[in-house]
Amino acid sequence: MILGYKREAYSGLGIKIPARATLPKKHTHILLAGKSGSGKSLTGLWYIWQILRKHEGLLWIADFKGGEEYEALEGSRNYASGQDAVDMIHRYYEFFCAVRQNRIRLPQYHALFIEEWMGLLTWMEVKEPKEKKRLMAETGEILALGRGLNCGLILTIQRADAAMFSNGSREQFQCIINLGRCTSEAFKMLGFAAAAALEENPTAAYKPGEGLALIDGQGDVEEIIVPKINNSGEMLRQIRYYLDREPDLDSLAREAAIGSGPGL
């Protein structure tokens, strides 16, 4: 999957040199961070579109805030918003547990995409603090153990503070992308000494879709740019087409619980 194109060559020369994630076993978990207006949601949809269109894996989308960017996916059994998004996270965790307990070797990448993780946890902190702890524990376990099982998490978040993840599980992401201006915490997440990086902040002038990426096994942090998507409506239509043809999580969890099944 292409995470973006190398910024200098793309913006200066119009040459597309891709920065790639190798799914699933090398880069299983992906963290996409960025403030509102950084292009994060549209970039996340571009990632989803690539994975589904290229048959790199199966995806389920938990979008707690029910953003307008995802409105065309409402009604698909493999997309959930509001409280249904919380239920989907729990159902994906049950599927993950069944795969692990029965030592199933999934032939395909199976990933849960969670939109605006920080917003979900912030809401839970006020309304249902016990549920917040449960969500953090479940996602922490998937991050720690999902890589060898072909079970992945792709999260978008406005600010990727370590407090948003349980027991240091933020370190389990193999691809970290921060779009837009980096904060001190974002620089630390990318492996920089935050104070030194902030003195000459190269991200201060970034436009939407421009950012930094740290990809396991591919050297240092690099500047990337996400291409402009001229027809997001058509991209969403194609995403919906693929989502509607995937098995649902409940069916997969039942198959995993007995150790086999056509969806596995």
Q: How far apart are CA 70 and CA 61, in angstroms?
A: 10
Domain ranges of the chain: 2-66+76-257
Could you report the per-residue pLDDT of 23-57, keeping only the tens digit for each?
A: 987 999 999 999 999 999 999 999 999 999 999 99
Distances (CA, A) of 145 to 54, 101, 260: 25, 12, 20
Strands 57-63 and 109-115, sheet pairing:
parallel
Say what the pLDDT of residue 6 is. Answer: 95
Say what the pLDDT of residue 62 is. Answer: 98
Phi, psi of 133, rounded to the nearest 5 degrees: -60, -40
Q: How far apart are CA 88 and CA 35, in angstroms?
A: 25
261 pLDDT above the threshold of 60? no
In the block, which residue shows the tokens 């953090």?
136
Say what the pLDDT of residue 67 is. Answer: 84
pTM over 0.85: yes
* For range 249-259, the mean pLDDT: 88
Could you report the per-residue pLDDT of 190-229, keeping only the tens digit for each?
A: 888 766 677 778 898 999 999 999 999 998 899 999 999 9
DSSP codes, 216-228: TTS-S-EEEEPPP
Say what the pLDDT of residue 260 is. Answer: 63
**Cβ-based neighbours of 257, under 8 Å, separated by 6 or more:** 98, 102
CATH fold for domain 2-66+76-257: Rossmann fold (3.40.50)
